[in-house]
């Protein structure tokens, strides 16, 4: 399969952001918008094993994400970043673990933080593709799902809790009948303090989140995504800095968050590992 336009843009974005990675540790989240824990399309590193209920997807899926939001301009309360990610799902019910779907996403988020209130405005592109092996074995045809969207989210920190809300508007898209509106909100909990210590190696705390997206294209049907588990962090890091590993239970029900299957309704339950740098 030839590289898609999104794949080329994703490569360009990562190369463009590379100089920023080599700079002194900047606030990837300090002045920016902290990544959403339960949003299936938030640029993050994760791998999950899912039991799936779906009309076309496999009953057992491997779901992986490779992505990061990298600060390129940080001016105190303002931050301009590049957000790039790849999300893929694999059929674990087959010995060959066929690739079923891949979503490419690249965006330019601009964030503003004042005290506990953070705003994210973002323009982003997404393109989705079926895996070659899946197309052969299922005799499936690709849907040309590609779009550009504008996002606005506001987030308020309230002690250990965080609430957020906003939406998106898809302004160019294929297929042509794709409806443009998305409403988005959620709540997160991060335990204040430490639940468990692993000597000088790591500290652990409980995290949980519920994310909801309502899609105009699905007559405002809501996709509910929930996670809970243990987050391990760098014991010498301050605030939200440093690396973080997480072991999470995941659940989802609603319109499929997998691009090529976006008009299917799915439900899943699984366990996964996450990494934040």
pLDDT of residue 238: 67
In a 13 Å sphere around the CA of 76, the CA atoms on its Cβ side amount to: 2
Instruction: Kindly report whether the peptide bond that precedes residue 175 is cis, defined as omega within 30 degrees of 0.
Output: yes
- C-alpha 9/C-alpha 3 separation (Å) is 10
pLDDT of residue 275: 92
* Average pLDDT of span 62-81: 94
**Cα separations in angstroms, 267 against 24, 45, 256:** 42, 22, 8
Judge contact between 267 and 252, C-beta under 8 A.
yes
CATH code, 242: 2.40.230.10
Range of the domain at 256: 5-19+27-276
Q: Round the average pLDDT of the chain to a whole number and report it.
A: 88
Residue pLDDT, tens place only, 219-253: 999 999 999 999 999 888 766 667 899 999 999 99
| Residue entry with tokens 């700079």 | 23
- Residue 140: pLDDT over 50: yes
Q: How many domains does the chain have?
A: 1
Tokens encoding 141: 């045809």
* Average pLDDT of span 13-40: 58
- Residue 276: pLDDT over 70: yes
Judge contact between 270 and 232, C-beta under 8 A.
no
């Amino acid at each position: 399969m030839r590289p898609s336009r999104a794949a080329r843009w994703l490569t360009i974005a990562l190369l463009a952001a590379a100089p920023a990675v080599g700079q002194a540790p900047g606030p990837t989240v300090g002045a920016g918008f902290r990544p959403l824990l339960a949003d299936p399309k938030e640029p993050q590193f994760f791998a999950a094993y899912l039991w799936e209920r779906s009309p076309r997807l496999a009953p057992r899926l491997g779901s992986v994400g490779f992505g990061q939001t990298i600060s390129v301009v940080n001016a105190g309360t303002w931050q301009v970043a590049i957000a790039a990610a790849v999300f893929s799902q694999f059929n674990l019910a087959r010995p060959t673990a066929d690739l079923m779907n891949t979503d490419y996403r690249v965006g330019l988020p601009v964030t503003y933080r004042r005290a506990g209130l953070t705003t994210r405005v973002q323009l982003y592109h997404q393109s989705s593709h079926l895996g070659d092996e899946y197309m052969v074995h299922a005799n499936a045809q690709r849907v040309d799902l590609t779009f550009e969207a504008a996002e606005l989210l506001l987030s308020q920190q309230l002690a250990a809790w965080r609430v957020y809300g906003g939406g998106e508007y898809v302004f160019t898209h294929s297929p042509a009948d794709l409806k443009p509106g998305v409403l988005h909100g959620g709540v997160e909990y991060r335990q204040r303090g430490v639940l468990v210590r692993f000597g000088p190696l790591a500290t652990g705390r409980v995290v949980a989140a519920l994310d909801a997206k309502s899609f105009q294209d699905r007559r405002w049907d809501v996709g509910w995504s929930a996670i809970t588990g243990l987050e391990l962090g760098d014991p010498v890091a301050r605030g939200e800095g440093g690396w973080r590993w997480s072991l999470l239970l995941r659940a989802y029900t609603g319109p499929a968050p997998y691009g090529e299957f976006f008009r299917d309704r799915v439900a899943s339950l699984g366990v996964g590992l996450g990494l934040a740098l």
